[in-house]
Chain A
Amino acid sequence: MGWKFDNPLYTLADEEEVNRMIQLWEAEKPGGMWEGNNRLPYPITYLLALIILTAFLITMPIWGQRPTAELYAPMVELMDSPEVQNMATDEEKIAYLTKRAMEVLETSDDSRLPGLLERHPISWLDLQLIAPAIREIASSGGPYGLESYNVIGDQVVLANFEGNWREDGLRERVQPWWDKGFTIDVFYVTYFIIAMVIVCKRLPPYQRKPDMSKV
């Protein structure tokens, strides 16, 4: 079990340990079979790195979130204006309102909103159905704002997400783009990589191949 640390990315096993393992591989044929000591090919190593990166990027809750009432508030504000009311068709009305809402959301601090509206367009009829609820929430001064309500079909309901406790004793209802699950993952993956590097570097370096002709 000899260790050495002078070149840890080459090997963590001293020469005696490396020789012992190589000799063992050359002497033993479990079930008549051999094992090679090849490294993971470079393209596959890069693929693994890409997988780790992808795992975080694709799972963030910015993807697949439900639309919030906040998205449609600018539309509700404008929907009764003469400008909109004078338009001939429902399609024209909603296209105009979506464009105006998008302009408002693009100036918002929350950069997720324009993308969410793009993925969750609404029809004129549905907008009419949810408008009273949105107006009521906006004017009620309740503990939760429009950002904490989801629009599901023609219903506006308090989001079922339960985040951290707030100072007023209620829970956060806005899903953050990062939560402690991701933090745990960062540590978990880091520990795994460190452990795997130690495990693999304790083996003979991949440049040292067992000579199977000795078997």
Chain B
Amino acid sequence: MLLKYLFAKNEDIPPGTATIFFGYSSIFWFVIGTGIGSFNAAKLAFPDFVTGTELFAFGHMRQVHVLAVILGWISMAFAMTMMYMTPALGNTKLWSEKLGLWTAMNWNIGLSLGLFLLWMGFTSGREYSDLIWPIDLVVIFGVLLPLGINVWMTIAHRRTQGIYITNWFFGACIFFVIVVFVVGQSAELFNLTGLTEGYLTFWFAHNVLGLWITPVAAAIAYYTIPKLTGNPLYSHRIGHLHFWAIIAFYSTPASHHLLAAPLPEWLKSFASVEGVLILIPAVAFVANILLTMKGRWSMFVENVEIKFSVTGVLLAIPLNMQGGFQQTRAINWYVHGTGWIVAHAHLALLGMSSFLEIAAVYFGLQQMLRRKLYSLALANFHYWFVIIGFCIYWISMTIAGLIQGAGKIYEVPYIDVVIAEHPYMIARWVGGTMVFTGNLVWLYNMYMTAVEGTVVPKGRYAHELAYER
């Protein structure tokens, strides 16, 4: 249906087409990503599960899961929100629906190819930067740059004098992520090795989290919470503090990922302090959003988008508390290289970030389709499966990480540590599978919304209408 617009004139493409394309793509990739995650977790919980086939070995599957979630789910959900929030906040139309559609098309094809190659074993071998350089170039020039051009041009053609805070983040973060990709992947492009390669790998990994995955999710909350509650954003000035503190303190501490590496010690000291200071933008963001909720907390129970959004904001608190302190020398010595870090990464990506994006995808698809959600019950099922599944995952992996840390420090034989953490690996699989199940239900619910959802009259919002069934 959507593909017929790829060769149509821009004026003939209905507004919201690119949003819908990106929205459904993101949910699809979320299902794929969490499905592979569940499969991988099963391999860790039950070592005899699917053995004997090289392609299904953990080493082949792990990075497919990671990249499907980051570039498929999270980044496409970001693109989806940019396609509808950026023009809405400028009281204008998207600069080019056609460019948006082609970006979504390139994205799906490029990512499918990249993940297939990863699965086949074509990898740069660097965590988070696993894609081989030709695919990196597709991501930079076929995906991120066109997305950026569309967002920047939409902001430039806005009909408001001011620029709302969400658009500051959108415009800036696309610029940042392009720079992060270009510089971060240069290790492979220019065959840099050794410490330089190690540093660039984690410079990329740190900044893709800090200048893309978490701030864009926060930017989304600046839209969804005031929009759905009808309250004004608590404070424009705290928004400034959040935005500039992200740039100042999140872009600088990459070397805190490499405290045990032979980098200059002063650089680690600098990075460690900056790592704690990431709490400044986090506190500003959480305070601004929770104070915006004033008088509307009943919506946390009644409204599924607010439920997801506020949960995401609340998860930002443990995320940044963990993040700030686990990178200090004293604590990192214990938790580095353990499941604690895996738990923390999932708190960032599946916890804080994904919950905010899920809310925005729910809201945006209903708005663009002009259809009310097919089933609130299924949406609530989705929420509870994802939050309970996530908590099981997070808590079990945190405990497993502490066990591994103790094993590492006290030189416990490796096999004893493996045995000790086995129950937590099973819990991890249960939690991950619950998230996957919830997402399958979500995909069904959104498909049914497109097909059978109650039509929303012009000038109304989907969440303002009562359910008909």
Q: Which A positions have Cβ atoms within 8 angstroms of B? A: 24-25, 28, 30-41, 44, 47-48, 51-52, 54-56, 58-61, 63-65, 153, 160-163, 175, 179-182, 184-185, 188-189, 192, 195-196, 199-200, 203, 206, 212
Q: Does B134 contact A (CB under 8 A)?
A: no
Distance in Å: Cβ of A193 to nearest Cβ of chain B: 10
Q: Which residues of A contact B279 (CB under 8 A)?
A: 51, 55
- The docked-state distance in angstroms from the alpha carbon of A7 to that of B85 is 38
B276–A33 touching, CB < 8 Å:
no
Q: Which residues of B contact A35 (CB under 8 A)?
A: 164-165, 232-233, 235-236, 239
Contact of A51 among B165, B240, B241, B280 (CB under 8 A): B280
Q: Which residues of A contact B164 (CB under 8 A)?
A: 30-31, 33, 35
Distance in Å: Cβ of B284 to nearest Cβ of chain A: 7
Q: Does B328 contact A (CB under 8 A)?
A: yes
**12 intermolecular pairs with C-beta atoms under 8 Å apart:** A28-B161, A30-B90, A35-B232, A36-B234, A38-B291, A39-B235, A40-B287, A55-B276, A61-B269, A63-B328, A181-B269, A189-B277
A30–B269 touching, CB < 8 Å:
no
A34–B328 touching, CB < 8 Å:
no
**Chain B binding surface SS class:** helix
A181–B265 touching, CB < 8 Å:
yes
Contact of A44 among B287, B328, B329 (CB under 8 A): B287
B235–A188 touching, CB < 8 Å:
no
Given contacts A34-B232, A200-B241, contact A181 B227 (CB under 8 A): no
Q: Does B330 contact A (CB under 8 A)?
A: yes
Q: Which residues of B contact A180 (CB under 8 A)?
A: 266
The size class of the interface chain B forms with chain A is: 35 or more
Distance in Å: Cβ of B455 to nearest Cβ of chain A: 21
- The docked-state distance in angstroms from the alpha carbon of A162 to that of B262 is 9
Q: Considering the complex, give the chain B residue whose CB is closest to the CB of A210.
A: B232
Given contacts A52-B277, A185-B270, contact A37 B283 (CB under 8 A): no
A58–B325 touching, CB < 8 Å:
yes
Q: Does B268 contact A (CB under 8 A)?
A: yes
B235–A36 touching, CB < 8 Å:
yes
Contact of A40 among B226, B241, B272 (CB under 8 A): B241
Distance in Å: Cβ of B124 to nearest Cβ of chain A: 28
Q: Which residues of A contact B91 (CB under 8 A)?
A: 30-31
B244–A199 touching, CB < 8 Å:
yes
Q: Does B293 contact A (CB under 8 A)?
A: no
A33–B226 touching, CB < 8 Å:
yes
Q: Considering the complex, give the chain A residue whose CB is closest to the CB of B264.
A: A162
Q: Does B333 contact A (CB under 8 A)?
A: yes
Give residues 272-318 of B contacting A (CB, 8 Å).
Answer: 272-277, 279-280, 283-284, 287, 291
A30–B265 touching, CB < 8 Å:
no
Interface bits B316-338 vs A (CB < 8 Å: 1, else 0): 00000000110011111100000
Q: Does B183 contact A (CB under 8 A)?
A: no
- The docked-state distance in angstroms from the alpha carbon of A152 to that of B331 is 18
Contact of B234 among A38, A179, A182 (CB under 8 A): A38
Q: Does B162 contact A (CB under 8 A)?
A: yes
Q: Considering the complex, give the chain B residue whose CB is closest to the CB of A184.
A: B270
Q: Which residues of A contact B245 (CB under 8 A)?
A: 192, 196
B283–A181 touching, CB < 8 Å:
no
A185–B274 touching, CB < 8 Å:
yes
B236–A37 touching, CB < 8 Å:
yes
A28–B162 touching, CB < 8 Å:
yes
Given contacts A55-B273, A195-B244, contact A33 B227 (CB under 8 A): yes
- The docked-state distance in angstroms from the alpha carbon of A161 to that of B161 is 54
A31–B223 touching, CB < 8 Å:
yes
- The docked-state distance in angstroms from the alpha carbon of A35 to that of B238 is 11
Q: Which residues of B contact A24 (CB under 8 A)?
A: 161-162
Q: Does B237 contact A (CB under 8 A)?
A: yes
- The docked-state distance in angstroms from the alpha carbon of A24 to that of B265 is 49
Q: Which residues of B contact A48 (CB under 8 A)?
A: 280, 283-284
B236–A188 touching, CB < 8 Å:
no
A182–B273 touching, CB < 8 Å:
yes
- The docked-state distance in angstroms from the alpha carbon of A182 to that of B270 is 6
Q: Does B120 contact A (CB under 8 A)?
A: no
- The docked-state distance in angstroms from the alpha carbon of A62 to that of B77 is 44
Query: What 3 A-B pairs have minimum CB-CB distances, sorted nearest first?
Result: A181-B269, A34-B232, A181-B270
Q: Which residues of B contact A30 (CB under 8 A)?
A: 89-91, 160, 162-164
A199–B240 touching, CB < 8 Å:
yes
Distance in Å: Cβ of B445 to nearest Cβ of chain A: 26
Q: Which residues of A contact B291 (CB under 8 A)?
A: 38, 41
- The docked-state distance in angstroms from the alpha carbon of A192 to that of B89 is 29
A196–B226 touching, CB < 8 Å:
no
Q: Which residues of B contact A31 (CB under 8 A)?
A: 85, 88-91, 164, 223, 227
Q: Which residues of B contact A61 (CB under 8 A)?
A: 265, 269, 329
- Which of A41, A55, A58, A195 gathers the greatest number of chain B CB atoms within 10 Å? A55
Q: Does B3 contact A (CB under 8 A)?
A: no
- The docked-state distance in angstroms from the alpha carbon of A35 to that of B233 is 5
Q: Does B248 contact A (CB under 8 A)?
A: yes
- The docked-state distance in angstroms from the alpha carbon of A28 to that of B160 is 7
Q: Which residues of B contact A182 (CB under 8 A)?
A: 269-270, 273
A206–B237 touching, CB < 8 Å:
yes
Q: Which residues of B contact A188 (CB under 8 A)?
A: 248, 252, 274
Q: Does B267 contact A (CB under 8 A)?
A: yes
A181–B266 touching, CB < 8 Å:
yes
Q: Which residues of A contact B163 (CB under 8 A)?
A: 30
Q: Which residues of A contact B239 (CB under 8 A)?
A: 35
Distance in Å: Cβ of A154 to nearest Cβ of chain B: 11
- The docked-state distance in angstroms from the alpha carbon of A40 to that of B284 is 8
Given contacts A39-B237, A56-B273, A182-B273, contact A64 B332 (CB under 8 A): yes
Give residues 161-209 of B contacting A (CB, 8 Å).
Answer: 161-165
A37–B235 touching, CB < 8 Å:
yes
- The docked-state distance in angstroms from the alpha carbon of A35 to that of B268 is 39
B232–A203 touching, CB < 8 Å:
no
B235–A33 touching, CB < 8 Å:
no
Q: Which residues of B contact A33 (CB under 8 A)?
A: 89, 164, 223, 226-227, 232-233
- The docked-state distance in angstroms from the alpha carbon of A1 to that of B91 is 25
